[in-house]
Amino acid sequence: MYFTPPRIGNSFLIPQAFKHRHHSHKSRSKITESRIALDFIGDKSKNATGNSSVSYASQKIFGLLMDLTEDFSKLEYTKLSFQRVFRIPRMRSELPKICNTLISNGRLQEGVSCHELRKVVDQLTTYKYLNNTHRAARILRAIFKEKDIQFIHSVKYSNRLLDFFLERNDEIMIKRIFRRLEKDDKKPNAMTFNLLGVHYLKNTSNFLERLMIWEFILLRMKTLGINVDLCSYYISLSLIPSEVPAKQELKQLMISHGLHLNVPGFCDIELTDMMNQGASLSEVLEYFHNAEGKLDTNCMNSAIFKYLQGEDDFKGAWRFMNIQRSYRDLVPRSSTVTIFTKYCIQHQRLALAVSILNTFLNDFGLSSSPALNIIMRHILTTYDSSDSKWINPLLKFIFIHHFKNSINNYQRTDVLFRQLKHEFGIELDKLPDFNDLDPVDRRIYDSLQSLVIDDSTNSFDDLNAQKLKGMIINWYLSGDAGHAIKENTKLELPIWLAEILAICSISDSSPSSENEDGDTTFLKLLEPEFFSPAFLNFLKSDALMLNLSPYVFYYRIVTKWSFMFGDVELVELISKALIDRACELNDLSFKLNDHFSGNNLEFMNNLDGFEKQLFKNSHKSYKDLKSWWLQKPS
């Protein structure tokens, strides 16, 4: 077992110290950074702490890279290798069709050619299949079991399988892959250890721990006589902190050998280091425009981030992106959408966030899952039920127009649905469809869809949540777009909107100012039938005979109406009626069977939603009291 990674703590490569640090129970003692340094650096660093430990570990990594490099000219850039090591996923929703009949009872079907199997393995280990990775894993295990399929046991395909099962944390398969390599007397290469390193590095964000893990992997490669590749250099460069001298030495070495020319990651790391060290926007842009190496979207994103976070300049960031798209052919990606969306949410500019989503979808076909999650989380945690009427059409638009164009459409939505029901009372059992929208929601949908970023017409400064709320209010009233609403037109509006317009003055420039003169407001509210004189007289005569079952939210509507118009007489009348009906409910809830007979049954059928819940609570209280009394010791 001369090349098999050591199983420290029953886990490949990862020291027991790190396992305890991230997977320990409370009863286990937490191992300190100085103890970790002692275990893996040696006696020279016994007293090293903080930055000195990080600098020392970084210098050791630099030295190991030199020891494991025979010829710099052999360090070549391979796009697929970098994508695999640096986790650039390519998503698919459905497995290849051949996978449906490839295995039976856990075994590979007979008659499948080696060429077809190779193609299947390439696809399953290249793409990430949403909601189907368990099926892909089952197929790969079945292929791996077959001794006659030689290609699957090569180092190249062993690395592909290793990458797949490391992502799933399947240590059993990882052990099998290494045992098979050993049995066939095949030596792993640098890519094998790069994949292992990246997998274990993601278990911690502590600088020192990450450096120690990577140093340990390089030491293992040195023991086995395995030289590093270009990916190993870039892993090291991304791990070493910006302020450590070893990082500058490593950069100069890579530049002197031309290792920075064809790899976009070098400029991205350099820009990140500059911003970590407090570089200004002008310094970042100067490097960006004069960089000798290859630039990519991540480099553009770094400059955009500096525009937004450092200078709070959305217009500058947006125009910078469009210029790079035109002159450098740098196309925005999902990460670009996420950066802009985070900025909008941080600055409470919800309408601008919606405009950004629409623009990226229209112009680039991009729909960022992280950006959508950020917006949904913001809506669910910022607004409450009082905003539900304008939030509701906004959520429907996001679901229909954006979710179905993103990977969210293939992920679980039941958790989100429960949260929507709890926060806003919006009940969904499936994603809404445009065909299910009523005419008003369709008009709002079309209007929201028209929100886009246009440098020549848009004002970037006022697209906030209040602006969006005002837009939706206008769309509710717009009827047919472009046509004025005639005087004395009857409209059906939600009460939250009717309340605003019933107290807002036409002449007052402030949209929230109240006006006591009803003739100058936008609209007059028509009195509901349950506030008519005949209805209220019947209520005065015998509150118990009143049928409130057609009005499920009767008391909530009374509360809102009384608050809007300050109707003290109505409040006193309804309060007295509620007390009379509540007393009757209390009596019936105590007498278990009385509410099933005669007039009592009729009264029970005439309750509104609030009264029904009141009866249930009262009945349960008496029941609990009786149970407690019977259990009470004599």
22-26, 228-232, 520-524, 538-542: range with highest mean pLDDT: 228-232
The pLDDT score that the predictor gives to residue 11 is 36
16-20, 106-110, 118-122: range with lowest mean pLDDT: 16-20
pLDDT at residue 13 above 50?
A: no
How confident is the model at residue 522, as a pLDDT? 74
- Centroid of chain to Cα 598: 57
Structure tokens belonging to residue 385: 């039920």
Residue 81 confidence (pLDDT):
84
Residue closest to 178 by CA, chosen among 62, 29, 6, 338: 6
Residue 620 · residue 601 · CB < 8 Å: no
- Report for 330-344, 423-437, 546-560: range of highest mean pLDDT: 330-344
451 and 511 part of one domain = no
Residue 510 and residue 534 in one domain:
no
The string of pLDDT tens digits covering residues 352-388 is: 888 898 899 888 888 777 888 888 778 777 776 666 6
Residue 397 is part of which domain span?
Answer: 332-471
What does each C-alpha distance from 110 to 103, 143, 385 come to in angstroms? Answer: 9, 11, 60
Q: Which of 259, 281, 308 is the last residue of a domain?
A: 259
Look at residue 250 and tell me whether its pLDDT is greater than 50: yes
As a whole number, mean pLDDT of residues 409-426 equals: 62
At 265 the pLDDT is 86
Tens digit of each residue's pLDDT (9 = 90 or more) over 546-589: 888 777 678 888 888 887 777 788 888 889 888 988 888 888 87
Residue with the bigger pLDDT between 465 and 546: it is 546
Q: What is the CATH number of the domain that holds 577?
A: 1.20.58.2050
**pLDDT confidence of residue 46:** 35
Q: Tens of pLDDT along 21-80?
A: 333 333 333 323 322 222 333 333 333 335 788 999 999 999 999 999 999 988 988 888
Residue 171, both tokens: 């240590």
pLDDT digits (tens, 9 = 90+) for 380-412: 777 766 666 677 788 888 888 877 666 555 555
pLDDT in the model for residue 386:
63
- % pLDDT > 90, the chain: 18
pLDDT at position 423 over 50: yes
Closest by CA to 77, choosing from 189, 231, 233, is 231
At 494 the pLDDT is 67
pLDDT confidence band for 478 (50 / 70 / 90): low
Residue 285 has a pLDDT of 92
- Residue 475 binned pLDDT confidence (cut-offs 50, 70, 90): low
Confirm whether 370 is domain-assigned: yes
- Residue 343 within a domain: yes
pLDDT digits (tens, 9 = 90+) for 501-518: 777 665 544 444 444 444
Q: Kindly indicate the confidence band of residue 456, based on its pLDDT and cuts at 50, 70 and 90.
A: very low
Domain membership of residue 322 (yes or no) is: no
| Helices 207-224, 50-67: crossing angle, 10 deg rounding | 20
Q: What is the pLDDT of residue 466?
A: 59
pLDDT of residue 146: 80
Residues ≥6 apart with Cβ < 8 Å to 5? 12, 13, 178, 196, 220
Q: Indicate whether 240 belongs to any domain.
A: yes
Q: Which of 157-161, 304-308, 494-498, 615-619 has the lowest mean pLDDT?
A: 494-498
Is 544 found in the same domain as 441?
no
| Tens-place pLDDT, residues 287-310 | 999 888 888 899 999 999 999 987
Domain closes at, from 213, 234, 259:
259
In contact, 443 and 478? CB cutoff 8 Å: yes
Q: Is 422 a residue whose pLDDT tops 90? A: no
Contact 408, 417 (CB under 8 A): no
Please count the CA atoms within 13 angstroms of the CA of 265 that sit on its side-chain side: 24
Q: What is the pLDDT of residue 600?
A: 74
Residue 119 CA to residue 78 CA, distance in Å, equals 20
**179 and 127 in a common domain:** yes
Dist CA 386 CA 499 (whole Å): 12
Distance of CA 540 to the CA centre of its chain: 55
Burial class of residue 353 (count of CB atoms within 10 Å of its CB; 0-12, 13-18, 19+): buried
Q: Are residues 435 and 503 in the same domain?
A: no
Contact 497, 419 (CB under 8 A): no
Does a structural domain hold residue 477?
Answer: no
Nearest to 241, CA basis, from 3, 59, 451: 59
d(Cα 396, Cα 418) in Å, to the nearest integer? Answer: 15
Q: What is the DSSP letter of 272?
A: H
pLDDT, mean of residues 519-547: 79
Is it the case that residue 465 has pLDDT exceeding 60? no
Higher pLDDT, 221 or 350: 221
Lowest-confidence segment of 134-138, 328-332, 495-499, 523-527 by average pLDDT = 495-499
461 vs 567, which has greater pLDDT?
567
Q: Could you report the per-residue pLDDT of 253-295, keeping only the tens digit for each?
A: 999 999 888 888 899 999 999 998 889 999 999 999 988 888 8
Are 2 and 12 in contact by the 8 Å Cβ rule? The answer is no
Residue ranges of alpha helices (H) inside 146-263 are: 155-167, 171-183, 190-201, 207-224, 230-239, 245-256
Residue 281 is assigned to a structural domain of this protein: no
Tell me if residue 523 falls in helix, strand or coil.
Answer: coil
Residue 555 and residue 460 in one domain: no
Overall domain count for the chain: 4
Within a domain: 200: yes
Q: Residue 616 half-sphere exposure, CB side, CA atoms within 13 Å?
A: 7
Q: What stretches of 451-593 show up as alpha helix (H) in DSSP?
A: 465-477, 495-503, 533-541, 554-565, 568-590
What whole-number distance in Å separates Cα of residue 269 and Cα of residue 238?
7
Last residue of a domain, one of 228, 259, 290: 259
Q: Are residues 451 and 583 in the same domain?
A: no
Q: Can you tell me whether residue 53 is helix, strand or coil?
A: helix
Q: Which of 107, 91, 187 has its CA nearest to residue 142?
A: 107
Of the pLDDT bands very low, low, confident and very high (cuts 50, 70, 90), residue 218 is very high
Residues 511, 617: one domain? no
CB < 8 Å & 24+ apart, contacts of 381-386: 382/465, 384/423, 385/423, 385/424, 385/425, 386/496
More confident residue, 251 or 386: 251
Q: Does 395 lie in the same domain as 253? A: no
Mean pLDDT, the chain, rounded, equals 77
**Predicted local confidence at residue 69, as pLDDT:** 93
CA pair distance 631, 634, nearest whole angstrom: 9
Given pLDDT bands bounded at 50, 70 and 90, which one contains residue 193? very high
184 Cβ neighbours under 8 A, 6+ residues apart? 153
Domain identity same for 415 and 449: yes
296 assigned to some structural domain: no
What pLDDT score was predicted for residue 415?
65
Percent residues over pLDDT 70 in the chain: 75
Residue 124 is predicted with a pLDDT of 87
Cα gap 298→77, rounded to integer Å:
17
Contact in structure between 402 and 367 (CB atoms under 8 Å): yes
CB 271 within 8 A of CB 233: no
- What phi and psi, each to the nearest 5 degrees, are found at residue 521? -85, 170
Helix (H) or strand (E) holding 103, with range, is strand 103-104
395 & 442 share domain: yes
Residues 575 and 444 in one domain: no
